[in-house]
Amino acid sequence: MLRVQQITGGYAGAPVVKNISFEVKKGELFGILGPNGSGKTTILKMLSGILPHTSGDIVIKGKNLSEYTPKELAKIIAVLPQHSSQAFSYTVKETVSLGRYAHQKGWFQSWSGKDEEAVNRVMEQTGISGFQDNDIQQLSGGERQRVFLAQALAQEPEILLLDEPTNHLDLSYQKELLDLLSVWSKDCGLTVISIFHDLNLAGLYCDRLLLLENGEVNINHVPNEVLKEGRIREVYRTKIEKLPHPRVAAPQMVLVPERSQAESQLEKRIHPSSLEVKEDLLVLRSPFPLKTMSSGVTGSGTGWNRIFLNRHVSKNYDCSDHRAEMAEFVREIGFEPGETVGMMTAVYIEDYSSKFYEEDTFSVFVVVTAGVGNAVDASKSEEHSYHLTPGTINTWIFVNGHLTEEAFIQSIMTATEAKTRALYDQEVIDTVTGTIATGTSTDSILIAAAQQGENLEYAGTITPLGKVIGKGVYECTVEAIKKSQSRINR
């Protein structure tokens, strides 16, 4: 559809774009990325015939760009520029109708039924039919952008060039516009070439990305290959991290702000003294947010949290809407559910067990409450019927160190294995199966890390961190089980 071969050029003086080659196939959604001044807009202007190139070729549908007359070119390529100026107050329909210029023939260039039909169709597609008689100068930025998109579509182009189309649009219109482009490229075979500032949007919607650096091609590949942390950091010269999109198989890049000198020098540690033991509640207040991975009632999953609650509820607690009830409880005692990991237990809070382990470069604080009333042997759990009751072994592990995601997951594995061993040694029996239990039916776990200081890449059982977690969880679980069982026996 479109082939660019070794083009060089730009404005008078030094060339902005050097030796660029790429190819775009029919129906592709092709994104052009690059920092400011990397030559994105220059390339787009060359493709639309506004700027001449000093060497190389641009071939569109097998014919050199320079061989097209402006009218012929306008029937193939339409452009939606970043800014569209309008000096006079044309109506929306008048503006869109201008897009039919190239399709009108003869001296009088009369307006045909086909023109009228095309204009009405694109106004419908872009959702602007409702205000077709309004003055474009009175529209909002987003509405105006849609009018000019309709104008470009009225050209019935095969290739649509866009220069940061989402620039003036709020979130919902950004999505709407890109969804539309995506549909048109897939269903109607429209070839879309667009400049993007937003790497994440580009990654979500484009089939292929061209990354420019100083007027040269850095890479031209699928989004997953282009949007690599190292590459983006280098090209954009900024701190960035890559995450998976929660719903779509596309990478997302997030900025990492520089911390102030004073802030980064301040030592942030979780200390056992932060733990408050109340009658029905175990509270740990961190002076700063911790990165957490947990299975709590509130704040579950991964996140950043400052408040950690383990709340005693009666054995008959109604679990039908426990999340909403817990959030309400958190709010009532003056915390924000949005920054709180909250757990529940039927165990008496005073039977908790905690231990602090100080290593050379990191430290670990373990807090466990354990009751074994619902003990289950996981290998035979199919014999149990499903019902939710408040959790009985709640394990908290606070690490003063910097954990990778891998270390978080390994921490959970190590802690679970240690817990199971504790139950084994305490000979906790699954009353349904009669075998030794591996846990209870509603256990919860929390791994919370300060994400400062020592970098702890792994937490497998024989790594330095794994060793402490294994030992800590085992010791605390055993002690907690003993405490709660002695209460029952009393």
Partner 1 sequence: MQKQSIRTYLNNKLLAYLTAAAFLLCAMLIGISIGTVSIHPSTIIRVISAEIFPFISLGNTDAMHANIIMNIRLPRVLLAGLVGASLAIAGAAFQGLLRNPLADPYTIGVSSGASLGAVLTLFFGLSIPFAGMFTLPLFSILFSFLTIFAVLLFARNIERSMKVETIILTGIIFSSFLGALISLMIALTGEELRQIIGWLLGSVSMRGWAYINIILPFFVVGAILLLVNSKELNAMSFGEEKARHIGVDVQKRKMMVLIAGSILTGAAVAVSGTIGFVGLVIPHLTRMLWGPDHRHLLPLSILVGAGFLIIADLVSRTIIAPAELPIGVITALIGAPAFGIILMKRKNKL
CB of 230 to partner 1, least distance (A): 37
* Near partner 1 in 109-128, by CB under 8 A: 109
Cβ within 8 Å of residue 179, ≥6 positions away:
none
475 touches partner 1 by CB under 8 A: no
Would you give the distance in Å from CA 441 to the centre of its chain?
Answer: 32
When the beta carbons of 102 and 326 are compared against partner 1, the nearer one is 102
CB of 299 to partner 1, least distance (A): 50
92 touches partner 1 by CB under 8 A: no
Give 127-130's long-range contacts (Cβ < 8 A, gap of 24+).
Answer: 128/92, 128/96
15 touches partner 1 by CB under 8 A: no
**Full strand arrangement of the beta sheet holding 216-221:** 77-80, 159-163, 191-195, 29-33, 208-213, 216-221
151 touches partner 1 by CB under 8 A: yes
CB of 17 to partner 1, least distance (A): 17
**For partner 1, which stretch binds (CB under 8 A), given 82-90, 266-274, 389-397, 465-473?**
82-90
3-state class (DSSP) for residue 465: helix
439 touches partner 1 by CB under 8 A: no
168 touches partner 1 by CB under 8 A: no
Q: According to CB under 8 A, which one of 13, 14, 36, 88 is a site residue for partner 1?
A: 88
- Alpha carbon distance 145, 297 (integer Å): 45
416 φ, ψ to 5°? -65, -45
∠ CA 387-447-290, nearest 5°, is: 125
CB of 212 to partner 1, least distance (A): 21
147 touches partner 1 by CB under 8 A: no
CB of 11 to partner 1, least distance (A): 10
Please give the size of the binding site for partner 1, defined by CB under 8 A. 39
* Near partner 1 in 27-56, by CB under 8 A: 45, 48-50
CB 395 within 8 A of CB 365: no
89 touches partner 1 by CB under 8 A: yes
- Alpha carbon distance 4, 358 (integer Å): 62
339 touches partner 1 by CB under 8 A: no
CB 468 within 8 A of CB 419: no
10 touches partner 1 by CB under 8 A: no
CB 17 within 8 A of CB 46: yes
Q: According to CB under 8 A, which one of 84, 120, 125, 381 is a site residue for partner 1?
A: 84
- Alpha carbon distance 58, 468 (integer Å): 64
Which residues of this chain interact with partner 1, rule CB under 8 A? 12, 45, 48-50, 69-75, 77-79, 81, 84-91, 94-95, 98-99, 101-102, 104, 107, 109, 133-135, 151-152, 155
